[in-house]
């Protein structure tokens, strides 16, 4: 299978001087990629990538239920988009939801229109987006570094931990990475065209516009910042004049501007609401970047941890990054001299990641903000893996792979031993276990039951054998088989992550409580959340019933509630007491065992699970 990929070319040359300028004569052996690598897609490579996607991602689309917070807030916005036939102004819980760009929601609404509203149809667009990102990375790597490198880059992206974790709920960051990969492909093409074609320039502009429609202005800031820094470092700013600037800008606005214009027209300043333009561009872009967004509510990951997470999310392939980074041109004389396609690409791939890291170093930071940078470093790692696995790889390269694999094996063995010790010290928890109750009341029982609640044995064994086999195969000069061992290890590990995720889902989702309400709900009944909307947004999505919120205006509903036509959502303690004492039946969601709002008032327990409960004011 590996033999179908093109190998790097080994060249012998006589150099009158060494790299550091010392005069001498000798023969140097250097590994270089073909000047114009083969970019034809290989059916075997595509089959492997798609099969991995099916095993890791598609298999997990059906379970568990959607989560509270962003999962069902975003899903509800798409459901209401379809219900209202309004593809411009988004609503969630009947309230304007203006803080997000629309492209992901359009894809969700289209999925609902075709397949109906369900858990798997909610996850399908993002899973297809991840597959598109992997294939785009494969083609970009094939174009820049050769098909073997493109293949390994796609494998690394598919089987690393970060993309998997952050596609377990609905956030658009992998789609940002997709548009970046496409835009950088067109930019690399432009460097080799005597006069960049309209397809190349307009393709770059269109990818930037789609990125803006995916996650706002960073969709333009990232590619412009990366390309600008690349041209500055290579002293090639004149290349900008060759990119058909005027027509490319027009194409960008043709794609990106209509939704923004319509959203501004349909959501002008009204009452206390200052309108779409202020909220979306000022509050959600500028003020969020400066950590002055209103209302606050976004924690910031420490800077050092934020940078470290970029490497962590590419585990296990990140262990090969030190070697890969050596391929990036970094000396001034390299940057200012004509470079080969693979040198241009490696420099661009590193800047791809650095620009994103530097940008968020001066802003608020979430753990998943580095996800759009992962394809860049996956391409760097994939390029080195391809060279190492070539039959013509040098002994130094093989030894470097062995050293990295040894480090990975030590980490894997230590982790496996810890996991196995924990497993042997645990006992099987009782049937019908509620993890939330153990977390709250019996943490010692939780600790001792953890190994059986989670697939700890399978995860530990996969770490042990996967990292060990990888090291042994590389020791025997078979790095391709070592990579296959790592890939299979990650399939097992990510399956274990999914099983754990499903078992913890009652804590993370209110789906079961929504089902309990649906069985008893009658027209005229009310659902009230004792907290903020995002804590129980699954109630709204699964019941299709707007909920009231027993909390001061805050969170994702704060701004939309200011519009004069907004429905009544927020309840005060006084208004809630009046509702509870009235004739209408009220379902109260709470994460408190003994909510103070019900003190002294008659109430009945309808359902409990995952550390949450539903109380009603009248018997059911």
Tell me what the mean pLDDT of segment 509-528 comes to. 96
Tokens 């209509």, residue located? 258
Q: How far apart are the first and last CA of the chain?
A: 63
Inform me whether the pLDDT recorded for 250 exceeds 60. yes
Q: Kind of pairing, strands 23-32 and 9-17?
A: antiparallel
pLDDT digits over 143-186, tens only?
Answer: 999 999 999 999 999 999 999 999 999 999 999 999 999 999 99
**What's the rounded Cα separation, in Å, for the pair 145 and 31?**
12
Residue 1: predicted pLDDT? 39
pLDDT digits over 526-569, tens only?
Answer: 999 999 999 999 999 999 999 999 988 888 899 999 999 999 99
pLDDT digits over 390-419, tens only?
Answer: 888 889 999 999 999 999 999 999 999 998
**What's the rounded Cα separation, in Å, for the pair 159 and 490?**
6
Inform me whether the pLDDT recorded for 47 exceeds 60. yes
Tell me what the mean pLDDT of segment 49-74 comes to. 95
Q: Is 227 helix (H, G, I), strand (E, B) or coil?
A: helix
pTM for the structure as a whole: 0.91
Residue 459: predicted pLDDT? 93
Residue 503: predicted pLDDT? 87
Residue 107: predicted pLDDT? 98
Residue 297: predicted pLDDT? 63
Domain ranges of the chain: 7-20+32-63+98-388, 395-508, 511-616
More confident residue, 174 or 297: 174
- On whether the CB atoms of residues 174 and 371 are closer than 8 A, the answer is yes
- On whether the CB atoms of residues 314 and 381 are closer than 8 A, the answer is yes
Inform me whether the pLDDT recorded for 579 exceeds 70. yes
Burial class (CB in 10 A: 0-12, 13-18, 19+), 264: middle
Which letter does DSSP use for residue 293 in this model?
A: -
297 torsion bin: left (phi>0), alpha (psi -120 to 50), beta (else): left
Residue 476: predicted pLDDT? 94
**What's the rounded Cα separation, in Å, for the pair 548 and 229?**
49
Q: Kind of pairing, strands 586-590 and 526-529?
A: parallel
- On whether the CB atoms of residues 136 and 178 are closer than 8 A, the answer is yes
- On whether the CB atoms of residues 280 and 217 are closer than 8 A, the answer is no
Residue 7: predicted pLDDT? 38
**What's the rounded Cα separation, in Å, for the pair 363 and 99?**
17
pLDDT digits over 129-153, tens only?
Answer: 999 999 999 999 999 999 999 999 9
In sequence order, the 6+-apart residues with CB closer than 8 A to the CB of 316 are 160, 408, 467, 486, 489, 490
Tokens 């290349």, residue located? 239
State residue 570 phi and psi, 5-degree precision. -90, 130
**What's the rounded Cα separation, in Å, for the pair 207 and 537?**
33
Tell how many helices (H) and how many strands (E) occur in the chain. 25, 9
Residue 553: predicted pLDDT? 84
State residue 25 phi and psi, 5-degree precision. -135, 135
Tell me what the mean pLDDT of segment 70-83 comes to. 96
pLDDT digits over 439-490, tens only?
Answer: 565 554 444 455 555 688 899 999 999 999 999 999 999 999 999 999 999 9
Tell me what the mean pLDDT of segment 328-341 comes to. 85
More confident residue, 430 or 255: 255
The H or E element that residue 591 is part of is none
- On whether the CB atoms of residues 21 and 4 are closer than 8 A, the answer is no
The mean of the pLDDT values for the chain is 89
Residue 20: predicted pLDDT? 34
**What's the rounded Cα separation, in Å, for the pair 260 and 88?**
9
Tell me what the mean pLDDT of segment 243-254 comes to. 97
**What's the rounded Cα separation, in Å, for the pair 150 and 166?**
23
Neighbour tally for 262: CB within 10 Å: 14
Dihedral sign, CA of 522, 523, 529, 530? negative
Q: In the structure, what pLDDT confidence band is assigned to residue 32 with cuts at 50, 70 and 90?
A: very low
Residue 293: predicted pLDDT? 86
Inform me whether the pLDDT recorded for 26 exceeds 50. no
State residue 93 phi and psi, 5-degree precision. 60, 30
Q: How many residues belong to the chain?
A: 620
**What's the rounded Cα separation, in Å, for the pair 558 and 130?**
32
Q: In the structure, what pLDDT confidence band is assigned to residue 431 with cuts at 50, 70 and 90?
A: low
Inform me whether the pLDDT recorded for 65 exceeds 90. yes
Tell me what the mean pLDDT of segment 279-288 comes to. 92
In sequence order, the 6+-apart residues with CB closer than 8 A to the CB of 118 are none
Q: Is 136 helix (H, G, I), strand (E, B) or coil?
A: helix
Cross-strand bridge partners of residue 14: 27
Residue 446: predicted pLDDT? 46
Q: In the structure, what pLDDT confidence band is assigned to residue 212 with cuts at 50, 70 and 90?
A: very high
Inform me whether the pLDDT recorded for 21 exceeds 80. no
Residue 453: predicted pLDDT? 54
- On whether the CB atoms of residues 495 and 461 are closer than 8 A, the answer is no
């Amino acid at each position: 299978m590996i033999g179908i990929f093109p190998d790097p070319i080994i060249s012998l040359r006589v150099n009158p001087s060494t790299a550091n300028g010392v005069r001498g004569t000798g023969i140097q052996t250097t590994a270089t990629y073909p000047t114009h690598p083969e970019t034809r897609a290989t059916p075997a490579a595509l089959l492997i990538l798609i099969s991995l996607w099916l095993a890791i991602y598609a298999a997990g689309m059906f379970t568990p239920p959607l989560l509270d917070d962003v999962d069902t807030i975003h899903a509800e916005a798409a459901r209401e988009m379809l219900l209202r036939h309004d593809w411009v102004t988004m609503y969630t819980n009947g309230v304007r939801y203006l803080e997000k760009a629309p492209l992901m929601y359009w894809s969700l609404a289209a999925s609902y229109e075709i397949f109906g509203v369900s858990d798997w149809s909610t996850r399908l667009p993002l899973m297809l987006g991840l597959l598109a990102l992997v294939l785009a990375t494969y083609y970009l790597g094939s174009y820049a570094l050769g098909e073997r490198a493109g293949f390994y880059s796609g494998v690394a992206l598919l089987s690393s931990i970060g993309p998997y974790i952050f596609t377990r709920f609905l956030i658009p960051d992998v789609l940002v990475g997709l548009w970046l990969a496409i835009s950088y492909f067109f930019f690399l093409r432009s460097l080799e065209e005597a006069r960049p074609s309209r397809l190349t320039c307009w393709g770059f502009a269109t990818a930037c516009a789609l990125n803006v429609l995916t996650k706002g202005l960073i969709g333009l800031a990232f590619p412009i910042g990366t390309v600008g820094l690349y041209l500055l470092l290579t002293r090639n700013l004149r290349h900008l004049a060759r990119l058909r600037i005027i027509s490319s800008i027009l194409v960008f606005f043709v794609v990106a501007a209509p939704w923004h214009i319509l959203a501004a027209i349909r959501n002008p300043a009204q009452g206390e609401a200052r309108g779409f333009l202020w909220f979306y561009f000022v509050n959600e872009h500028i003020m969020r970047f400066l950590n002055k967004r209103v209302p606050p509510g976004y924690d910031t990951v420490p800077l050092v941890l934020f940078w470290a997470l970029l490497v962590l999310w590419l585990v296990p392939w990140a262990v090969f990054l030190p070697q890969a980074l050596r391929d990036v041109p970094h000396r001034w004389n390299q940057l200012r001299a004509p470079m080969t396609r693979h040198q241009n690409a490696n420099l661009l791939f590193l800047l791809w990641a650095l620009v994103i890291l530097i940008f968020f170093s001066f802003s608020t930071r979430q753990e998943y903000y580095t996800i759009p940078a992962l394809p860049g470093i996956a391409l760097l790692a994939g390029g080195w893996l391809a060279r190492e696995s070539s039959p013509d790889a040098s002994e130094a390269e093989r030894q470097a792979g062995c050293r990295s694999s040894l480090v990975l094996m030590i980490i894997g063995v230590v982790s496996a031993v810890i996991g196995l010790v924990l497993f042997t010290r645990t006992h099987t928890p009782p049937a019908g276990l509620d993890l939330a109750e153990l977390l709250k009341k019996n943490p010692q029982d939780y600790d001792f039951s953890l190994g059986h609640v989670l697939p700890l044995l399978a995860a530990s064994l996969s770490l042990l054998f996967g990292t060990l086999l990888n090291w042994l195969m590389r020791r025997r000069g078979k790095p391709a088989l070592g990579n296959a061992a790592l890939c299979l290890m990650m399939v097992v590990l990510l399956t274990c992550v999914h099983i754990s995720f499903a078992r913890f889902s009652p804590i993370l989702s209110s789906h079961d409580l929504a089902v309990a309400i649906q069985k008893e709900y009658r027209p005229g009944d009310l659902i009230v959340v004792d907290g903020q909307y995002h804590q129980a947004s699954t109630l709204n999505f699964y019941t299709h019933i707007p909920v009231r919120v027993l909390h001061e205006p805050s969170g994702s509903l704060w701004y939309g509630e200011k519009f004069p036509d907004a429905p009544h959502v927020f309840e005060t303690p006084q208004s809630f007491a009046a509702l509870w004492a009235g004739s209408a039946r009220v379902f109260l969601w709470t994460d408190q065992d003994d909510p103070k709002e019900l003190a002294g008032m008659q109430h009945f327990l309808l359902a409990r699970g995952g550390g949450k409960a539903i109380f009603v004011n009248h018997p059911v």
